[in-house]
Amino acid sequence: WPRSGGIRGGVAMDLFGDLRRMNKRQLYYQVLNFAMIVSSALMIWKGLIVITGSESPIVVVLSGSMEPAFHRGDLLFLTNFHDDPIRAGEIVVFKVEGRDIPIVHRVIKVHEKGNGNIKFLTKGDNNEVDDRGLYKEGQNWLEKKDVVGRARGFLPYVGMVTIIMNDYPKFKYALLAVMGAYVLLKRES
């Protein structure tokens, strides 16, 4: 390792040295390979959206409001088929006007009208009161249009990586840099 740059400087110099030693064809191949990985991930995501009917088929639980059912960091798998009726006891993910992040809570009351319209009320299992305080001003009930999806399965704590990356942006950028460098510099055997 070079003495002046320390460990960080040494790693960066090695990465740039590897890039310089690659010929242009290898570099183009690695960049194309990286682009294929990114586009494949996007195609899989779009495919999941079509299959599940949900605009966001996978979400991470960001708070403890649904404990003990779901914990912070759990990864939820959602579907959102409009033919399925919403029932009390079901766990839904919904968006409220004025809030960017969807909320994961349980349906506690459902009002069905004769014309097929459904309105419902939600509450976090670990919360003392219902969600009327979270809805936009003047809104007392949610409608089907507010639902992003319904929980169909989960993986415990797998989403903690997402939470860590949101809480510590430097970690996110370091992880992305390492992954990008790995893809660009890995050699085919």
**Which candidate in 14, 18, 56, 65 is catalytic?**
65
Residue 147 to residue 78: CA distance in whole angstroms: 11
Q: Is 131 a catalytic residue?
A: yes
What is the DSSP pairing of strand 142-143 with strand 91-94? unpaired
Residue 105 · residue 123 · CB < 8 Å? yes
- The answer to whether 56 is a known catalytic residue is no
Q: Which of 131, 146, 167, 189 is catalytic?
A: 131
Reply yes or no on whether 167 is catalytic. no
C-alpha separations of 143 from 49, 133, 184 in Å:
21, 16, 47
Give 111's strand partners.
Answer: 119
Question: What size, in residues, is the chain?
Answer: 189
The catalytically annotated residue of 54, 74, 105, 146 is 105
CA atoms of 167 and 66, how far apart (whole Å): 20
The catalytic residues are: 65, 105, 131
